[in-house]
Amino acid sequence: MGADDEAGDGAARLAAIVPPAVLALIGRLVEAGHAAYVVGGSLRDALLGRDPADWDLATDARPHRLVELFPGAVYENRFGTVAVRRDAEVFEVTTFRLEHEYADFRRPHRLDFGDDIEADLARRDFTVNAMAWGRRPGEPANALADPLGGRADLDARLLRAVGDPDARFREDALRMVRAVRLAATLGFDIEPTTLAAIRANAGLVAHLSGERIATELEKLLGAPRPSVGLALMQEAGVLAVISPELAAQRGIAQSKVRGEDLWDHTLRAVDAAPVERPVIRLAALLHDIGKPATLAEGHFPHHDAVGAQLADAFLRRLRYPRTPAEEVVHLVKHHMFVVDQGATDAAVRRFILRIGPERLEALFALRRADDLGSGADPDDPDTVAFRARVEREIHAAHPLDRGALAVDGHDLMGELGLEPGPRLGRVIDELLERVIADPGANERGSLLLLAQGILADMYEDAVDPS
C-alpha cells in the first residue's frame, strides 16, 4: 500500500472517528446554508489516530447567526467563538477569520470574519494544524481540505510554518514556543527553514506575556518526553529568553553521567518525572536552576536555597497559579535532603517536620527523578531504608506539630503566668523540639516542668547574654 492510499484511508476513516454530535453540527450548519469543518488540533490528532481532547469547528456563519441556529449557544468573546451544547458536550464553533495588522510580535490588532475556509487555514501556524474536514452547501460529502500540504507533512512528521516562517514568527512570537511544544507532544521534527527562522527570531519571545508561555510550557511538560522540546528550545535560543538561568546550565560540568553536562541532567530528570504529575515535572525542570549562579570551584554551595528564589521569580514571571508554584518552590528548596542511615529517630522526625508530612511523597518523587537523571539507582538500599523509616515515624503518629503537644498556650499562660507573645511562642517551639527528640515526654506534667526550665534558661540568657 502506497503513501497515497494510506493518506486516503486516514481521511476516509474520519467519517467513522468524528463523533455523531460533531457530524450533526456540520449537517445542521450546511442545511442552513453554511460551510462547516472540523479544524485545528482536533483534526490533526484524529488523522494521527489519537483521541482528540476536544473538537473544534469552523464555519462562515457569523456568531449572531450561530446563536440563532443553536438555542442555548453562548457567544464567548470578541474572537468569534461560540460554545454550542450538543449531547451534553460543548463544542467551540469559530467563525472563519482573516487576520492582519500584527503589532508588538503578539496577537493581531484586528480580526475580521472571513467567508472561505482557505483564508482561515492560511492564518494558522503550522501546516499540520491548517487542514479542515467538512463541506460547503452543495458538496455531496465531507472531505479533507488541505491547500497547504498538511497531510504530507503529517505523514513525514514535520512541523512546517504556514507561509514565510520568518514573517509568521514576527507576527506572533508564540508560534516559536508552540513549535517546540508540538515537536515534543507530537514527536515531530521541525522542518529546517522553520527551525532556522526560530533561531533568527527567538529574541522576540521576550515580548510575550508570561501566561501565554506558561500555557505552552505546561503542555510541553505533559509530553511523553519533554526533553525533545526543551532541547530544541535551548538549541534555538528560545530558552535563553524565557530563562537565562536554565540556559546557563549548558556546558556546566557534572560528575553524574559521563560526557553529559548539567543541562543534560535536567533534561533526563524531567523525562524521568511521572508524566501525570505536572508539579514534579516542573520541579525537575527547576531543581538545579540555582547551580549556574552558585558555581564555585566545582561545587554549588546553597544552590537549593538560591534555586528556590530563582524558581519563584521564574514562576512569577510566567504568572503561574500560586498553589502549584508554591509547591514547586518548596520542592526545589528541599531537594538536597540527605539520606543518612546514621540519623537518629529525632533527626528523622525533625526532617518530617521541616518538609511537612503531606509533602514528603512529592519530595521523594522528585528525588527519584533526580536520581534517574543522574544515572543513579533510585531504589538503592539506603534510600529504601530511609523512606521506610520516614513512613514508620509518620505512622507512629508522634507529635510533629504544636497542635499535638499535650499542653497548649492557654495551659502555659494559666499555669506559668506567661503572657501571649513571642516568649510564649518560643517556649512552645522549644517544647516541640524536646518532644520530637523524646516522644515519651509528651505528657502534661512533664511538659509544664520542662517549660519552667526553659523559662529559667531564657531568663538567665536575658540577664547574662555571654
Nearest alpha-carbon partner for 77 in 61, 89, 93: 93
Contact with ligand ATP (CB under 6 A) among 59, 95, 129, 194: 129
Site for ligand ATP contains 172 (CB under 6 A): yes
Here the cell at position 20 is: 455523531
Nearer CB in complex with ligand ATP: 200/376: 200
User: Binding segment for Mg ion among 37-45, 195-203, 283-291, 439-447 (CB under 5 A)?
Assistant: 37-45
**Rounded to whole angstroms, how far apart are CA atoms 168 and 104?**
13
- The closest of 259, 129, 138 to 181, measured between CA atoms, is 129
Q: Tell me which of 14, 26, 41, 181 binds Mg ion, using CB under 5 A.
A: 41
In the chain, what are the helix, strand and coil shares in percent, each to the nearest 5?
60, 10, 30
Looking at 85-93, 172-180, 244-252, 444-452, which segment touches ligand ATP (CB under 6 A)?
A: 172-180
Which residues are CB-contacts of 168 (< 8 A; sequence separation ≥ 6)? 125, 161, 162, 175, 197
Residue 245 binds which one of ligand ATP, Mg ion, none, with CB within 5 to 8 A depending on kind?
none
What residue is closest to ligand ATP based on CB? 41
Q: Applying CB under 6 A, which of residues 22, 37, 41, 266 lies at the interface with ligand ATP?
A: 41
* Class of residue 293 by CB neighbours under 10 A (exposed 0-12, middle 13-18, buried 19+): middle
Q: Residue 175, interface with ligand ATP (CB under 6 A)?
A: yes
Applying CB under 6 A, does 125 fall inside the site for ligand ATP? Answer: yes
Residue 40 as a binder of ligand ATP (CB under 6 A): the answer is yes
Which of Mg ion, ligand ATP, none does 243 bind, CB closer than 5 to 8 A by kind? Answer: none
Q: Among positive and negative, which fits the CA dihedral 362, 365, 371, 372?
A: negative
User: Could you say which DSSP state residue 105 is in?
Assistant: T
Contact between 124 and ligand ATP (CB under 6 A)? yes
Q: Are 170 and 278 in contact (CB under 8 A)?
A: no
146 binds, among ligand ATP, Mg ion, none (CB under 5 to 8 A by kind): none
DSSP bridge partners of 83: 74, 92
Between 175 and 268, name the residue whose CB sits nearer to ligand ATP.
Answer: 175
Kindly tell me which of 41 and 80 has the beta carbon lying closer to Mg ion: 41
Per the CB < 8 A criterion, the answer to whether 401 and 355 are in contact is no
Burial 227-237 (b: 16+ CB within 10 A, else e): bbbbbbbbebb
Q: Which does 389 bind (CB under 5 to 8 A by kind): ligand ATP, Mg ion, none?
A: none
Q: Which is nearer to ligand ATP, 48 or 336 (CB)?
A: 48
Query: What are the cell numbers at 458?
Result: 531564657
Which entry of Mg ion, ligand ATP, none binds 129, CB below 5 to 8 A by partner kind? ligand ATP
Q: How far is the CB of 398 from Mg ion (least distance, A)?
A: 49
Minimum separation from the CB atom of position 45 to Mg ion (A): 8
Q: Classify residue 2 by its DSSP letter.
A: -
Measured distance CA(278)–CA(255) in Å, rounded: 27
175 contact, one of Mg ion, ligand ATP, none, CB 5-8 Å limit per kind: ligand ATP
Q: How far is the CB of 329 from ligand ATP (least distance, A)?
A: 27
Q: Which residues bind Mg ion (CB under 5 A)?
A: 41
Please give the residue ranges that form the binding site for ligand ATP (CB under 6 A): 40-41, 124-125, 129-130, 172, 174-175, 219
